Amino acid sequence: MSDKKIIAVVGATGAQGGGLVRAITGDPRGRFIARAITRDVNSEKARALAKSGAEVVAADIDDEAGLAAALRGADGAYFVTFFWAHFSPEKEKAEVRNMAGAAKAAGVKHVIWSTLEDTRQWVPLSDTRMPTLMGKYKVPHFDAKGESNKVFTELGVPTTFLFTSFYWDNLIHFGMGPKKGPDGKLAFTIPMGDKKLPGMAAEDIGKCAYGIVKKGAEYINKSVGSAGEHLTGAQMAAALSVALGQEVRYNAVSPEMYRSFGFPGAEDLGNMFQFNRDFEQVFCDARSIDLSRALNPSLQTFKTWLAQNKTRIPLE
């Protein structure tokens, strides 16, 4: 019988969870087994994880009892939600309650919860500098996660709160890459002014989480922030110019302008960038590059990420 500890990973076919599963299965001297939890064990991504050596188990985060069954026997668990699948902070909070309750029921000894700030601690609903969305949020996909941190604490679940950063992968998958203007020139558009935005490769979030797993109990009941670099929009545009071999201008629009773009989530993201801009020091200080590299020695910079991914960025 193996003496390796099982780490259950919710969202194992997603960006963060998949990164953690691959970090575990790719470590030949590792002391852990990855249990990939997914709704569809027959999906192409789930089959790829099974082929890599992961144990693949079916469960749905909307089903607390079923999730608890999938977690039984696991020493640790990684929890993440995906707001952009439904755009509902209420659903996201319900998912977190289910995950925390399932972890408690299954006796999981260490949960890593992928979270973000509740921005209302800095920008209350009465603050008119930023519009209130959905009646009670400033940045819904941040606030729902931040508000839910207390669920783990109240249930007494031993938890590390892993604060993540802007995915550079958003330039590939989320339509945030450089776009051609009427003059045919490429422009990278974010409303950050001259402030720095913590960012990282999505794969590295999973690798940082694996670093926390390997530390055992060291980070239980603590917050850990992860980032690959803190970069201004101008610095990102300069790096994109070099990588793509053509000029990429930095289009520093206002948050108001960004919120007006009209795509699904534009208001939420406009508020997010405004929060990141207006509270640059708070946001950056919470995400240590040095600690991230200590947890994940292969941590990528934006330059190294671009070298691997530049051909995948759609240039519209």
Q: Which two tokens stand for residue 9?
A: 């990973």
What is residue 210's predicted lDDT score, i.e. its pLDDT? 98
* Residue 71, CA distances (Å) to 114, 185, 208, 214, 302 in order: 17, 51, 21, 19, 35
Per DSSP bridges, beta strands 32-38 and 5-10 are parallel
What is residue 316's predicted lDDT score, i.e. its pLDDT? 72
What is residue 314's predicted lDDT score, i.e. its pLDDT? 94
Residue with tokens 């972890």: 103
Burial of residue 152, with CB atoms counted within 10 A of its CB: 0-12 exposed, 13-18 middle, 19 or more buried: buried
What is residue 260's predicted lDDT score, i.e. its pLDDT? 97
Which of 268, 278, 283, 270 has the alpha carbon at shortest distance from 140? 268
The distance between the two most distant Cα atoms of the chain, rounded to a whole number of Å, is: 65
Q: pLDDT tens track of the chain, all 316 residues?
A: 468 999 999 999 999 999 999 999 999 888 999 999 999 999 999 999 999 999 999 999 999 999 999 999 999 999 999 999 999 999 999 999 999 999 999 999 999 999 999 999 999 999 999 999 999 999 999 999 999 999 999 999 999 999 999 999 999 988 899 999 989 999 999 999 999 999 999 999 999 999 999 999 999 999 999 999 999 999 999 999 999 999 999 999 999 999 999 999 999 999 999 999 999 999 999 999 999 999 999 999 999 999 999 999 998 7
Which of 192, 178, 186 has the alpha carbon at shortest distance from 233? 192
Residue with tokens 């200590």: 294
What is residue 1's predicted lDDT score, i.e. its pLDDT? 44
